[in-house]
Amino acid sequence: MRVALFVTCLADLMRPGVAFAAIRLLEHGGCTVEVPQTQTCCGQPAYNSGDRATAIALARKVLVEFEGFDYVVAPSGSCGGMIRAHYPELFRDDPATLKRIEALAARTWELTDFLANVLKLDSVPGDFKGTVTYHDSCSGLRELGVKAQPRALLAKLPGLKLTEMNEAETCCGFGGTFSLKFGEVSTQLADNKCGHACATGADAIVGGDLGCLLNIEGRLRRRGDLKTKVLHVAEILAGDERLKS
Amino acid sequence: MTARENILNRVRSALGRKVSPQDTASIDARIAAHPLGMQPPRDWEPELRFRARAEALASTVEKVSSLQSVPGAVARYLVTHDLPTGGICWPSLRKLDWIGAGLGMEDRPARGDDFVGVTGCYCAIAETGTLMLLSGPDTPAAASLLPETHIAIVETARIVPFMEDAWALLRAERGRLPRAVNFVSGPSRTADIEQTVTMGAHGPYRVHIILVG
Amino acid sequence: MELRSNEFKTRAAANLGDEKLQRGLGLIKVKAVVNRANAVAEFGDFETLREVGKAIRDRALADLDLYLERFEREAVARGAVVHWAENASEACRIVVDIARENGVRTVAKAKSMVSEEVGLNDALIEAGIEPIETDLGEYILQINDAEPPSHIVMPVIHKTAEDVADLFHAKHGTPRKTDPAALTREAREILRPKFLSADMGVSGANFLIAETGSTLIVTNEGNGRLCTTLPRLHVAITGIEKVVATLEDASTLLRLLPRSATGQAITNYVSLHTGPKRLEESDGPQQFHIVLVDNGRSKLLAGEMREMLRCIRCGACMNHCPVYQAVGGHAYGWVYPGPMGNILTPSYVGLENAIALPNAATMCNQCGVVCPVKIPLPDLMRKLREEQMERGLKPWPERLGLALWGWAAQQPALYALGTRIAVRFMKWLGGREKLIHRLPLASGWSDGRDFPAPEGQTFRELYKERRQ
C-alpha cells in the first residue's frame, strides 16, 4: 500500500517530529510511505481569506503531486478537510479536473481516521505514561467526523489515561488568520480552552492539528504554565523522542 | 411601477423567469395535497401523552366523567388553590350549572382584571400537550389570555396525536380557518431576565386542564 | 437602527473585559445550549428533521413569486390588507400612514426583528405616535433609552437582574427588587393597561402560510397574543422570504424552531391570524394589515447568499458561536448578531459597511451543524470574503501578505529556501526558553500569547538528511 504523506506546512516548519511520527505509525501499519518533495501547502489560508485563485492554483499543485498514490494521509484534520471537503467545490466549473479532484479527495485521510478505520491498527508503538486530555479540532471533528478515532488509538497505550475536558469540541480560537486579525478574541478563546484543559490536571494536552496546538501552547505559556505538555496525537502514538528528553 | 410589481419582478428575475406562470399547477397541487413533513414516532397513547406533556409544561390536569361534573371540578380547583371563585367563561359554556357549584361565571368578553377564564378547546394535541383554540362569537380569544387563571375543558375524544391531525380535523369540520387559531402550551412564561424561567409574563399564571371522558 | 458594524474589532475587544456582559453570556452555554441539546436528543432523528425543514424552505424559495401571490390572494379574500415595501423607509411609511388614517396614538408592539431592521419605532415617534414594546426584554431596552437588542431571541442577554432592578427602580419609581419573577410581575402590571388602551398592535410573523393567507407567530409571554387580539388594528410586518406553502409545512418547521431557539418542544403560544374580526366576534382587530418587506431579500435570492433566506430566526447559530459567546451581540453593530449577522449585515447594508463581519469567525462550523435549516454559514462567509478580495475591500497589508505567500508556495525551491531561513531566525528569536514573546508584524498573536519557537530545521531538510 503506497501512502503519500501530506506533511502540512506547520509540521514542516514548526514540528518536524510530527511528520516523522506519522511516518513511523504508517510504516508500523505496513504502509510504504512516500513524501512528495515539492509539496508546500494545501491552500486553505488562501481559501479562507477569499483568495480563490491562489487556492485553486495550490489545489492543482497538490493534485499533480499526490494523485498517483493509493492514499494521501495528513496529520491534520484541517488540511485533510480542505482536500476532502473543499477541493471539489473549487473545481465545480471544471468537470475534467473535478473528476480527478474527487478521486483524490476520496483517497485523502486524516491520520488517526486512517490508522483506525483503514489500517485498523491493533497496537501502536508509543509508550506514553501519564494523563492526557484531548482537544477536538473543528475541521477534523465537523468536516471529517474525527472524534472516536484518536481516542480509540490512545486507549491502546496502557500507561495513558484520558481525562475529558469540558467543551472539548469548542473551537480554541485559532482559525488561521483569525488569530492575527482578531487577536484579543482569539486569545480569549484560547484562554477558555486552556482553563478547561488545565482543570483536568492532565500532564499533556493532545490534539490532531498543529494550528490549534500552537495556539493553545502559546496561551498556556503566557499564562505562566511551563509544565503542561502540548502534543500532537501522532507524537504520543508513535513514541516520539521529544517526549523522552 | 408599484412596489408590489418591482418586488415580484426582482423575485422572478432571481428565479430566472420573466413573468409568473399563469399555470400555477405546481404549487396549487402541493398546497392541495398538503403532504406531511416529518413527525416524531408515535410510540404513545394520545391521552397519556397529552397529559404527561401538559404537566411537563407546568399545566395541571384532572379528569372527570362528564361535562356536568365540570363546574364542581372548577370550584374544587379554585378553592383548593385559594383563588377567587368568580370570572368569565366562553358563551358556549353558559349552560353549565356554575351557580350550583357556587361559582359566579359570566359569559361576557374578558376584561383586564378578570381572575378566572374558563374555556373549552377545539381539540388538543398529544405530541406537545397543547390546546388548540379557535376564535369565534362563542369562543372569544381573550378568555384564555387576560385572566390570571385559565381553566380549559378538553374532551378526551378530541385529543389528536399531532398538529397535522388538528389541521385535518379543521379542514373536514370547518373548511377554513377562523380569525385566530391559538395553540396554548402551558402558562405564559418568560426567560428574558438571566434566562430564568418565570410564569405569568403577560398571559395566565396557571393553566388547569379538565379532561372530560 | 444605527449601523456600527465597522467598529466590530474595537467593540468586541472592549466587551471581552466587561464582567457583567460576560456573566450574561456565560449563561448561554449552561442554559440555551444545554436546553437545545436535550430537546434535540429527546426528539430522536433531528438530523432528518433538519433535512426536511431545509427542503420545505428551499421549495418555498424556489417558487417564491407564486407563493407570495397565492398568499396575498388568500389573505385578501379573508379581509386582510396586504402591503408591499421595497425598503425600510417604505415599510415605515406604510405603517405610519395606516396609523395616521385611523387616528392611532399608541402602538403595542410584539417583538419583531424586521421592525428593528426598518427602524419602525423611530418612524412612529417622529410621526407623534407612541410605540410601546411589550416583550419583556424589548420593554427593558426601550425604557433604557432605546438600547438595541443584543440577541434576536433573548434581547437582554447582556443584562443582569441587578441591571433590570436598577432600571425599573429608576424608571418606575417603585421599590427596588431583584427577583426575576417580581420584576416580571412589575412589567406585567405596567404594561397591562397599555395593552388595553393601545389603538394598534404591531407584530412580526414567523411564517406566512400561502394556503390560507395566515400569519403565524410564536411567543412565550403572551404579549404577541395581546397585541393581535385587543387593539382595533393589527399590523403584521415581515420579510417576503417567510412564506411557506401549507399548514403542514409550518407544523414541521415548528418542530425545528423552538427546539433550536430555546430547547422547547413548542413555544407557549403559536398563533395564526387569518383576516380581521368577524362580524359577531367580541374580540379581534377590525383591520388586519400585512406589510411584506423586501429590503434586500430579492437581491439575496438572485445571488450566492440565497441559502441565507432559509433562515427561520432561531438564534442557534449565535448561541453556539464561540465568538458571539465571547463578545456579545452589540459588537456586531446591527440588528442581526452572530454568524447570521456576519452574512445578513453585509448583504443588507453593503459589504463596505461591515468589513470585519464576514471575517469575524474561526470557521469552526459549530453554527452550521446546529442550524435547523442547514444553512452552510461558514461557506457563505467565505464567499463574502471572496467578494471582499475581488472588490479590493481587504486592507493592503493582508492582500500583499497573501499574494507574496501564495506566490512563494507555488515555487517549491524558493519556498524550501525561505522556510529554512525563517525557522532558523525564529528559533533564534525564541532563545533558550524556545518561546517567542513578541512576533514582528503579528502583535495580534503575541499581545496575548507566546509563539512556540520552531526547532531550527524544516522537516524537508531533516527528511533529506535521514534518507542519505
C-alpha A205/C-alpha A224 separation (Å) is 15
Rounded to a whole number of angstroms, the distance from the CA of B95 to the nearest CA of chain C is 19
Give the DSSP letter of residue A136: P
- Does C448 contact A at CB distance below 8 Å? yes
Length of chain C: 468
pLDDT band at B23 (very low <50, low <70, confident <90, very high): confident
Q: Do C220 and B189 touch (CB under 8 A)?
A: yes
Subunits next to A (3 or more Cβ pairs <8 Å) are C
| The last residue of a domain, from among C361, C394, C427 | C394
Radius of gyration of chain B (CA): 21
* Of B7, B37, B194, Cβ closest to residue C252: B37
* C213 backbone dihedrals φ, ψ, rounded to 5°: 65, 30
C-alpha A173/C-alpha C319 separation (Å) is 16
- Does C434 contact A at CB distance below 8 Å? no
pLDDT at B22: 77
Cβ pair A182, C11 in contact under 8 A:
no
- B45-188+199-212 has which fold? Rossmann fold (3.40.50)
- A130-243 has which fold? Rossmann fold (3.40.50)
pLDDT at A245: 42
C-alpha A220/C-alpha A229 separation (Å) is 10
C55 lies in some domain: no
* Residue B1, pLDDT above cutoff 90: no
* Of C369, C406, C412, Cβ closest to residue A54: C406
pLDDT band at C39 (very low <50, low <70, confident <90, very high): very high
Instruction: Tell me: do C103 and C162 sit in the same domain.
Output: yes
Residues of C in contact with A142 (CB under 8 A): 364-366, 368-369
Cβ pair B90, B131 in contact under 8 A:
no
Number of independent structural domains in chain C: 3
Instruction: Tell me: do C373 and C431 sit in the same domain.
Output: no
Residues of A in contact with C390 (CB under 8 A): 50
Instruction: Tell me: do C358 and C231 sit in the same domain.
Output: no
Give the DSSP letter of residue B81: T
Angle, helices A16-28 vs C459-467, to 10°: value is: 50
Q: Taking CA atoms, what residue in C is nearest to A230?
A: C452
The domain containing residue C437 runs over which residues?
Answer: 397-467
Three-state DSSP at B138 gives coil
Instruction: Tell me: do C236 and C362 sit in the same domain.
Output: no
Torsion sign over Cα C94, C100, C103, C107: positive
- Residue C128 grid cell: 407623534
Residue A2, beta-bridge partner list: A32
* Of A14, A138, A181, Cβ closest to residue C444: A181
Strand C233-239 with C269-273, pairing:
unpaired
Q: Do B11 and C65 touch (CB under 8 A)?
A: yes
C-alpha A11/C-alpha C460 separation (Å) is 10
Q: The CATH number of the domain where C199 resides is what?
A: 3.40.50.10420
Cβ pair C200, C232 in contact under 8 A:
yes
Residue with cell 390560507: C212
| Contact partners, residue A224, CB within 8 Å, separation at least 6 | none
* Residue A208, pLDDT above cutoff 80: yes
Mean of the per-residue pLDDT values for chain C? Answer: 96
Q: How many CA atoms lie within 13 A of C147 on its CB side?
A: 19
pLDDT band at A243 (very low <50, low <70, confident <90, very high): low
Chains B, C in contact: 3+ Cβ pairs under 8 A? yes
* Residue B55, pLDDT above cutoff 50: yes
Rounded to a whole number of angstroms, the distance from the CA of C126 to the nearest CA of chain B is 23
Q: Do C278 and B201 touch (CB under 8 A)?
A: no
* Residue A37, pLDDT above cutoff 70: yes
* Of C211, C268, C284, Cβ closest to residue B31: C211
Q: Do C455 and A14 touch (CB under 8 A)?
A: yes
Residue C108, beta-bridge partner list: C132, C201
Q: How many CA atoms lie within 13 A of B177 on its CB side?
A: 28
Residue C305, beta-bridge partner list: none
**406-425 in chain C: CB under 8 A from chain A:** 406, 408-410, 412, 415, 419, 422-423
Q: Do B34 and C164 touch (CB under 8 A)?
A: no
Q: Do C369 and A16 touch (CB under 8 A)?
A: no
Q: What is the mean pLDDT of residues A184-212?
A: 98
Q: What is the mean pLDDT of residues C213-222?
A: 97
Residues of C in contact with B192 (CB under 8 A): 135-137, 140, 154-156
Cβ pair B180, C282 in contact under 8 A:
no
Q: Do C422 and A47 touch (CB under 8 A)?
A: no
Q: Do B137 and C184 touch (CB under 8 A)?
A: no
Give the pLDDT confidence of A210-226 residue by residue, as tens digits. Answer: 999 999 999 999 999 99
For the residues of A35-104, what is the DSSP string, one character each? Answer: --TT----SHHHHHTT-HHHHHHHHHHHHHHHTTSSEEEES-HHHHHIIIIIHHHHTTT-HHHHHHHHHH
C-alpha C181/C-alpha B123 separation (Å) is 32
Provide the residue ranges of all domains of chain B, joining segments of one domain with +: 45-188+199-212
Residues of A in contact with C26 (CB under 8 A): none
Rounded to a whole number of angstroms, the distance from the CA of C371 to the nearest CA of chain B is 17
**347-366 in chain C: CB under 8 A from chain A:** 359-366
Q: Do C406 and A51 touch (CB under 8 A)?
A: yes
C-interface mutation test, from A5, A7, A9, A12, most C Cβ less than 10 A away: A12
Rounded to a whole number of angstroms, the distance from the CA of A235 to the nearest CA of chain C is 14
Q: Do A219 and C443 touch (CB under 8 A)?
A: no
pLDDT at C134: 96
Higher pLDDT pick, B23 / C442: C442
Give the pLDDT confidence of A44-103 residue by residue, as tens digits. Answer: 999 999 999 999 999 999 999 999 999 999 999 999 999 999 999 999 999 999 999 999
Mean of the per-residue pLDDT values for chain A? Answer: 96
Residues of B in contact with C44 (CB under 8 A): 40-41
* Residue B18, pLDDT above cutoff 90: no
Cβ pair B37, B192 in contact under 8 A:
no
- Does C455 contact B at CB distance below 8 Å? no
Give the pLDDT confidence of A99-124 residue by residue, as tens digits. Answer: 999 999 999 999 999 999 999 999 99
Three-state DSSP at A180 gives helix
Residues of A in contact with C385 (CB under 8 A): 48-50
pLDDT at A242: 58
Rounded to a whole number of angstroms, the distance from the CA of C455 to the nearest CA of chain A is 6
pLDDT band at C339 (very low <50, low <70, confident <90, very high): very high
3-state SS record for chain C: CCCCHHHHHHHHHHHHCCHHHHHHHHHHHHCHHHHHHHHHHHHCCHHHHHHHHHHHHHHHHHCHHHHHHHHHHHHHHCCCEEEEECCHHHHHHHHHHHHHHCCCCEEEECCCHHHHHHCHHHHHHHCCCEEEECCHHHHHHHHCCCCCCCCCCCCCCCCCHHHHHHHHHHHHCCCCCCCHHHHHHHHHHHHHHHHHHCCEEEECCCEEECCCCEEEEEECCCHHHHHHHCCCEEEEEEEHHHEECCHHHHHHHHHHHHHHHHCCCCCCEEEEECCCCCCCCCCCCCEEEEEEECCCHHHHHHCCCHHHHHCCCCCHHHHCCHHHHHHCCHHHCCCCCHHHHHHHHHHHHCHHHCCCHHHCCCCCCHHHHHCCCCCCHHHHHHHHHHHHHHCCCCCHHHHHHHHHHHHHCCCHHHHHHHHHHHHHHHHHHHCCCCEECCCCCCHHHHCCCCEECCCCCCHHHHHHHHHC
Give the pLDDT confidence of B68-98 residue by residue, as tens digits. Answer: 999 999 999 999 999 999 999 999 999 999 9
Residues of B in contact with C84 (CB under 8 A): 2-4, 7
| Global pTM exceeds 0.80 | yes
Rounded to a whole number of angstroms, the distance from the CA of B213 to the nearest CA of chain C is 25
Residues of C in contact with B193 (CB under 8 A): 136, 156, 159, 161, 164, 180, 183-184
Give the pLDDT confidence of C452-464 residue by residue, as tens digits. Answer: 999 999 999 999 9
Task: To the nearest 10°, report the CA torsion of B171, B123, B200, B53.
Answer: -120
- Residue C410 grid cell: 507555488
C-alpha C215/C-alpha C422 separation (Å) is 62
Q: What is the mean pLDDT of residues C160-174?
A: 95
C-alpha C392/C-alpha A148 separation (Å) is 43
C-alpha A91/C-alpha C146 separation (Å) is 49
C-alpha B158/C-alpha B139 separation (Å) is 16
| The last residue of a domain, from among C295, C325, C347 | C295
Continuous segment of H or E residues that includes residue A113: helix A111-117
C-alpha A216/C-alpha B18 separation (Å) is 55
Instruction: Tell me: do C84 and C135 sit in the same domain.
Output: yes
- Residue B39 grid cell: 413527525
Which of B44, B78, B84, B42 minimizes the C-alpha distance to B62?
Answer: B78
Give the pLDDT confidence of C391-421 residue by residue, as tens digits. Answer: 999 989 889 999 999 999 999 999 999 999 9
Rounded to a whole number of angstroms, the distance from the CA of C407 to the nearest CA of chain A is 8
Q: Taking CA atoms, what residue in C is nearest to B111?
A: C196
Q: Do C398 and A177 touch (CB under 8 A)?
A: yes
Cβ pair A71, A3 in contact under 8 A:
yes
Three-state DSSP at B95 gives coil
* Of C364, C385, C435, Cβ closest to residue A171: C364
pLDDT at B20: 78
Subunits next to C (3 or more Cβ pairs <8 Å) are A, B
Check if the interface score ipTM surpasses 0.90.
Answer: yes
- Residue A186 grid cell: 482569539
C-alpha B71/C-alpha A173 separation (Å) is 62
Q: Do B196 and C220 touch (CB under 8 A)?
A: no
Residues of A in contact with C391 (CB under 8 A): none
- Does C246 contact B at CB distance below 8 Å? yes
Chains B, A in contact: 3+ Cβ pairs under 8 A? no
Subunits next to B (3 or more Cβ pairs <8 Å) are C
Residue A231, beta-bridge partner list: A206
**114-153 in chain C: CB under 8 A from chain B:** 134-137, 140
Residues of C in contact with A46 (CB under 8 A): 402, 405-406
CB pairs under 8 A between A and C: 191
